[in-house]
Structure 1
Amino acid sequence: MNLDAAKQTFLEEARELLEDMERILLDVEATDTTDEQLNALFRAMHTIKGSAGLFGMDEIVHFTHEAENVVDLLRSGHLALSEDLSGLLLRCHDHVKAMLAVVDDKATQQEMLQTSLLDELRHYAQPAAVDEPAGSSQASAPEQGGLRDWVMSLRFNEDVLRNGMDPSAFFRYLRLLGEFLVVQPVLCRLPQAERFDPESCYLRFELLFSSDASQQMLLDVFEFVREDSQIHIFPVGEAAAHWPQLIADADEAEQAAVRQAWLALGLDPDATAEPEPAPPAKAADKASDKASEKADKPATGAAEAKPPRASESRFIKVEAAKLDSLINLIGELVIAGAAANLMARRSAQSALVESTIAIANLIEQIRAGTLSMRMVQIGEIFSRFPRVVRDVSKELGKSIQLNVSGADTELDKSMVDKLGDPLMHIVRNAMDHGIESSEARLAAGKPAEGNVWLNAYHESGSVVIEVADDGAGLRKDKILAKAVANGLVPADSVLPDGDIYKLIFEPGFSTAEQVTNISGRGVGMDVVRRSIEQLRGTIDIDSAVGEGTTFRIRLPLTLAIIDGFLVSVGNATFVIPLETVIECIELPPDALQGDAHNCLNLRGEVLPLLGLNRFLELGQPHAKRQNVVVVRYGDSKAGLVVDELLGEFQTVIKPLGNLFRHLRAISGSTILGSGEVALILDVPSLIHFATSQEAERFASHAEHAQQRGGHGNH
């Protein structure tokens, strides 16, 4: 039995339950609560408590039990979910998460159990217990119910040990909920020694148990074995009524053994069934049962096997490392397929060519399917930010609303994992520096409540993520003055708005007048740019004073395999990412003759040109005819001048290594079918270079023209 694997599964499921709990608490803060939401909160705490008990995590059981009591009072109507109580439950969420992080450190867990959160939870639970009349049908928390004796008939499935479950763990957990009065084992199924299988479970127990827990809470202790085992729990007064159900599937020997066990418990199987009189405290227990029935499946006298959830069979968890290995192998398959296709074409055998084309099509489908496995919705990141906005806005004393759209946009899992921190920096800065105080907003004629928007969408084979706010906007004069003071730009610099805004990404740059816990230390934004660039992405800023600021992050869909467009320049071969290519045209003979501007009139649109042979210092072009590959990234276009167009090519991206990490024009390399290495062009960098070069030439030409005009007038 691999208990470590079972514990890891529990930890993963507990974290998912905590994520659901956080999301629900943030939702109910913004809207009215529903019974379904409160029941889901209860299930989260109850499931974590029950599972932790199976693994002997008593500290987590103790803490979640207190939190569960308060949530149970919420769903029964004793308490209303106020802002303070919601904040307390969020802090309990954080505390349980922290306890799970050090689950193997008993000493630390003991220290974490000494927390003031327990006193706050009991403060909410005690008034409800005191104020509520004893006979109220609404009471449901264990503290409101009196002790009650229960009959438990536990018949574990033979495979329970093979499935990683230890029956003794259920008994250890039950001790936390009450007291064992009498325990009678039923051993009639125990085989002879020669037929005994140590991996099979032959145990059956009949026992009396005293507890103030509800029937549903006791049934839920056996959540993980109820589907395969026969678990019956009912009050002592109803024992005779359940006797026929207990022995329905038993042979004569087992019926006789169970009868003897019941007599040892002081129970008479043949007694006439009479309903047990319910004192006020026990009536409260019945109300608790009803509340539990509303949240979970109805709690009958005997817990029957629950139908399996249909969704479970539709998903399977796979280690990310295994998926990475598969993608690497498919990358090698793409290269081998390209080599086979090249050899087939050279052989001029039509049947062989058709066969390699069919294989290439299958490889393409496998590639697309495997890459789609790595694609996850960006909502996985966005789901973190409602809590961030809530906590930071309260800390800053501002009223801020978060608006999320495009959460279903898919992105490579490896990129999603690395996007969390950069987005966190941007959102926190937007709330701290961007959004004004309510007083300042009202004075400016704005609503008192500020807004932060998170949006994601696909565009031209890329993913665009926008973080926008309706705050005060960026002050260009203030940024430029700070940049001059820091020596980042000359004092007489005239920069475009976009370049001025990008100065905030320089290391140590900050215009904050005060250092806060949120931002203003002059660190963070340079890390943001560096993190985005490591993902082969770009970040741009749009801003208007008094209206707000938008950060726009543009990223490739995947980091592993892309469709490329193969071109040759001189004796070298390059790959242009296909999603950036718009069209290919022939270069007019006089387009690059050293005139003032290297640009092309493309159907009335000025297109900056960049000759790759000159830019990459590859010598004069060999071909008589040159071609222009029109590429686009975001809103910018440029024309890359190449010697020859070689067509589409599936490209497996290979990193260049640390030696070439500073190259701006090259983003990676790939291996062609011939075994040669081709470099992958960094289109965003090339477009930026071409457009900025053309802007400088235009400014220089205009300055010379102005000087000539001045001399003429003189």
Structure 2
Amino acid sequence: MVSDDLNDALDTFITEARELLQDFEEGLLGLEDDPSAEETVNALFRTMHTLKGSAGLFGLAHLVAFTHVVETVLDSLREGELAVTPELVSALLPCGDHVSSMVEGVASGRTEATPAETVDGDRLLAALQPFLTEGEAPARTPAAAEEQSNDGLRTWRLTLWFGPDSLRNGMDPLSFLRYLGSMGTVTRVTTLTDALPEPDLMDPETCYLGFEAEFVSGAPKTEIEGVFDFVREDSQIAIVPADDYVTVIEELPDQDRLGDLLVRSGAATDLEIARALRIQQERNRSGDTLPPLGEILIETQAVPKPVVEAALGKQRKTADSRSQETQTIRVYANRLDKLIDLVGELVIAQSSVGIHRRDGDGDEEAQGEVMRLVEEVRHSALSLRMVPIGTTLRRFERVVRDVCVDLDKDVDLIITGGEAEMDKALVERIGDPLLHLVRNALDHGVEPRAEREREGKPVRGKLRLNAFHDAGSIVIEVADDGRGLNRERILAKAVDRGMVQAGTVMSDHEVFDLIFEPGFSTVETVSNLSGRGVGMDVVRRNIAELRGTIEVDTAAGAGTTFRIRLPLTLAIIDGFLVGVGTSAFIVPLDRVTECVELPPNASGRDCMYLRGEVLPFVRLRTIFDIAGQPPRRQNVVVIEQSGQRAGLVVDTLLGQFQTVIKPLGVLFSEARCISGSTILGNGEVALILDVGPLVAENVSREQLLV
């Protein structure tokens, strides 16, 4: 069991493990494209070694055992004993998934493998056996690898005080010294008699003696430490390097943490660092001043003072060299959510100040400055949630690889615009819709090799994921160079299913939009990837829940592009405030194209002429059953949704409005045409219109085709 005292450290381990495993997968996929990337191989080895070492600190034996074997394979790869092959990558990729599954199990409170995980682990390890040389030694730590590569011997000073009950427990202290002789040379042994009592008080079964020994060996400190595992609980074991570790530390790469430097140099072991950290936490709980880790290591005789000072000096140099670089921090999402809520209240206060300023109250210049500052705070706070979408897009490298293996297709994935940023909440929720689109593009879009050759296309297909900012939104494109959508086949299927009347005249946009209808599919055979008609409707529904839209652009024989447009954030939007009677509504500003006056002769009609074209419209007063007579002059807010234009008839236009989105709650979860609410500066509530369903449900196809 992991001690409650280490819960915070365990949370950090889980977070870092997730990031390392994501890097591990990306590294393997990159290695398949560039087998000679030596630094990638080293990074993969370091990733698995870090996971193994960290898991060992928390007693996660199942993680240690599995990552140990993966690390051994990667070490052979690093040493040039193995070559990068598709078979090796295929064997290692599911190992990363298995480690991820075990890490998530630890996150849920499980510190041992489940029976299912054990079976999966054995299967994966069996797949790695061809890549393990016969009689291969256990995977080595970085320190051990460095020591073995130097083929050098080191001198260690050992101070051994065995527990008083060692003899009763069947442990012979001298047997440990004799065993050390099999690992190196014990050059000197001094017997320590400080604890010997008077002869008449001695107990023949009690161990009173201690030993100081000098030991020369090429073994790393972790192996020497392992000799004393059976007596560690009740004994005092100090293993201190006697040779020049200061030089070794100076030659190491930059490290931020003292413990990492000491472990990498071989001057300390993971176990010694963990023990020192526990002592540090215990003293912190007791109310004493938190002692530095280095002082504890010196105090417990784990590491000599000169070596600790050298490591501290290296640590300071690392900090100084990075002080000018851009630093990133991990922020808890709930803290950001609280900040966003506070900023929302500031935005509401801002609108209130604006109202008072229009009424002539207060110092106009001061109020204007407050509004400017609030706007800056808003942008700064929202930027904390913005993350590059590239990480999400790169995850599909693995999907493309695996699907292409299943379908026996060759497809290159091209990712562009990964630096475009969007709200972290959106990034997490857009993954599933993108997965459906990518799998469909590979299954239905890109043709098999033989068909591409007949069409004169390159044998290798292309799938492009592109992201860019556009007019306050982010656009994500999934584009393939495949066969494109078959308009006639889609229309015929829709007629056959009764979705469209035979002979109905439909635009290309309307025909292609049918693929998003529930249960619609033109595939004759069902595969494990697609063909059941459950997917594209889920894609559109999920995107709509994020206040986004999806469009299709296709050409026969040239490919298909799915274009997703999403807001940059789900917290605050730019809206257009309108009034109907005593009610107020917010229309998302990115949907508004213009505002015009309703013609006097439009009474009783549901469309109007706008610059020679018919514009269908809906009356919000009718839709929401608002009492009272409309004013003599009404206005039309022209909106555009999925390539179609329509109008919203309102009483008054109140202008642009910074809108803080407030959820409606469970009671209104089934409400249609409303995506949320906001609080106005005067304290009243305004509903935020979901213009997509509003237009779709209240403007008929006949109106749109007039």
| Aligned positions of 1:33-432 closer than 5 A | 33-103=36-106, 104-108=110-114, 111=118, 115-126=122-133, 150-152=154-156, 208=215, 225-226=258-259, 233=266, 306-307=314-315, 308=318, 310=322, 314-343=327-356, 345-346=358-359, 348-351=360-363, 353-432=364-443
The one-letter amino acid paired with 2:473 is S
Taking structure 1 as reference, are residues 561 and 42 closer, same or farther at Cα in structure 2, changes over 3 Å only?
same
C-alpha separation between the residues in 1 aligned to 2:158 and 2:260?
A: 13
Contact 1:613-1:619 at 8 Å conserved across structures = no
Q: Are the counterparts in 2 of residues 335 and 652 from structure 1 also a CA contact under 8 Å? A: yes
Matched to 2:679, the amino acid is I
Letter aligned with residue 383 of structure 1: R
Match of 2:99, SS? helix
Aligned partners of 2:224 and 2:449: how far apart in 1?
Answer: 47
Higher relative CO (CA 8 A, sep ≥ 6), structure 1 or 2? 1
- Measure the CA separation in 2 of the matches of 1:354 and 1:154: 75
Distance 2:191 2:542 in 1: 62
SS at match of 2:560: strand
1:507 lines up with 2:513 in the alignment? no
* Deviates most, 522-531 or 472-481: 472-481
C-alpha separation in 1, matches of 2:606 and 2:105:
67
Alpha-carbon contact 2:635-2:652 (below 8 Å) kept: yes
Structure-1 separation of matches of 2:427 and 2:486: 31
Q: TM-score, normalising length from structure 2?
A: 0.72
1:483 aligns with one of 476, 491, 494? 494
Residues 179, 57 of structure 1: alpha-carbon distance in 2 compared, 3 angstrom cutoff: farther
Q: 2:678 aligns with which of 652, 670, 673?
A: 670
Corresponding letter in the other structure for 1:443:
R
Aligned residue for 2:501, secondary structure, equals coil
Aligned partners of 1:152, 1:589: CA distance in 2, in Å?
95
- Residue of structure 1 aligned with 2:652, choices 623, 640, 644: 644
Instruction: Tell me if structure 2 keeps the 8 A contact 1:69–1:142.
Output: no
Matching residue's letter, 2:344 = G
CA offset digits 1:284-319 (Å, max 9, x no partner): xxxxxxxxxxxxxxx999867543462898222221
Which amino acid in structure 2 is aligned with residue 76 of structure 1? E
Structure 1 residues 112, 35: closer, same or farther in 2, change over 3 A? same
Determine if contact 2:156/2:214 at 8 Å carries over to the other structure.
Answer: yes
**By how many angstroms is 1:56 displaced?**
1.9
Alpha-carbon distance change, 628 to 504 in structure 1, aligned in 2, over 3 angstroms: closer
1:308-365 Cα offsets, whole Å, 9 max, x none, are 462898222221112112212221232234335434654x3342x4433332222221
The answer (yes or no) to whether the contact 1:577–1:681 under 8 Å persists in 2 is yes
**What is the identity, as a one-letter code, of the residue corresponding to 2:662?**
K
The equivalent residue for 2:8 is: 5
> Which residue number corresponds to residue 687 of structure 2?
679
Letter in 2 for 1:370: A
Aligned counterparts of 2:614 and 2:183: Cα–Cα separation in 1: 83
| Residues 1:553 and 2:564 are matched in the alignment | yes
Is 309-318 or 25-34 further displaced after alignment? 309-318
Partner of 1:165: none
Matched, 1:696 2:699: no
Deviation at 1:3, TM superposition (A): 0.5
User: Is residue 20–residue 47 contact of structure 2 (8 Å, CA) maintained in 1?
Assistant: yes
For the residues of structure 2 that align with 1:583 and 1:151, how far apart are their CA atoms?
82
Q: Which amino acid aligns with 2:346?
A: L
Give 1:383 deviation, angstroms.
Answer: 1.6
Q: Which amino acid aligns with 1:125?
A: L
> Which of 630-639 and 358-367 deviates more?
630-639
Task: Quote the residue 1:246 is aligned against.
Answer: none
What secondary structure, in the 3-state scheme, does the structure 1 residue paired with 2:569 have?
A: coil
In the TM superposition, what is the alpha-carbon distance from 1:180 to its structure 2 partner? 11
C-alpha separation in 2, matches of 1:185 and 1:476: 92
Amino acid across the alignment from 1:610: F
Query: Which residue is 1:270 aligned to?
Result: none
Checking the alignment, whether the CA contact within 8 Å between 2:598 and 2:636 is kept in structure 1 is no
Query: Is contact 1:566–1:648 with CA below 8 Å preserved after alignment?
Result: yes
Q: Which amino acid aligns with 2:435?
A: M
Match of 1:314, SS state, is: coil
* Aligned counterparts of 2:498 and 2:224: Cα–Cα separation in 1: 67
Report 1:430-441 matches (<5 A): 430-441=441-452
2:434 counterpart letter in structure 1 = L
**In 1: Cα distance, 2:631 partner to 2:183 partner:** 91
Contact 1:559 1:653 survives alignment (8 Å): yes
Letter paired with 1:576 = V
**Equivalent position amino acid for 2:547 in 1:** R
Check conservation: 1:226, 1:304, Cα contact below 8 A: no
CA contact (8 A) 1:49 1:65 kept: yes
Offset at 1:427?
Answer: 0.7
Map residues 518-667 of structure 1 onto 2, 5 A cutoff. 518-584=529-595, 586-587=596-597, 589=599, 592=602, 598-601=608-611, 606=613, 608=615, 610=617, 612-613=619-620, 616=623, 618=626, 622-632=630-640, 635-661=643-669, 663-667=671-675
Contact 2:449-2:460 at 8 Å conserved across structures: yes
Give the length in aligned residue pairs.
590
CA distance in 1, matches of 2:704, 2:514: 23
CA contact (8 A) 2:394 2:415 kept: no
> Is the alpha carbon distance of 1:125 and 1:491 closer, same or farther for their aligned partners in structure 2, counting shifts above 3 Å?
same
> How much has 1:451 moved relative to structure 2?
1.4
Structure 1 stretch 92-101 or stretch 208-217: which is displaced more? 208-217
Does 2:442 align with 1:442? no
Shift of 1:460: 2.2
Query: How far, CA to CA, are the matches of 1:147 and 1:47 in structure 2?
Result: 24
Q: State the SS of the aligned residue for 2:430.
A: helix
1:657 shift after superposition: 3.8
Does the aligned pair in 1 maintain the 2:548–2:567 contact within 8 Å?
yes
Structure 2 residue 500 is the aligned partner of structure 1 residue 497: no
Specify every segment of 5 or more residues in structure 2 that has no aligned partner in the other structure, as ranges: 138-143, 160-178, 195-211, 226-247, 269-293
Normalization by structure 1: what TM-score? 0.72
Letter in 1 for 2:114: T
Which SS does the other structure have where 2:114 is aligned? helix
TM superposition shift of 1:76: 2.5
Q: Which amino acid aligns with 2:133?
A: Q
The residue type equivalent to 2:128 in the other structure is L
Distance 1:234 1:5 in 2: 26
Per-residue deviation at 1:6?
A: 0.5
Identity %: 46
Q: Residue 28 of structure 1 aligns to which amino acid in structure 2? A: L
Task: Please tell me whether the aligned partners of residues 261 and 311 of structure 2 are also in contact (alpha carbons under 8 angstroms).
Answer: no
Matched, 1:15 2:18: yes
* In structure 1, C-alpha distance between the alignment counterparts of 2:606 and 2:572, rounded to whole Å: 40
Q: Closer, same or farther in 2 for the Cα pair 1:209/1:562, shift >3 Å?
A: farther
* Cα distance, 1:44 vs structure 2: 1.0
Question: How big is the shift at 1:578?
Answer: 2.8
Task: Tell me what 1:451 maps to.
Answer: 462
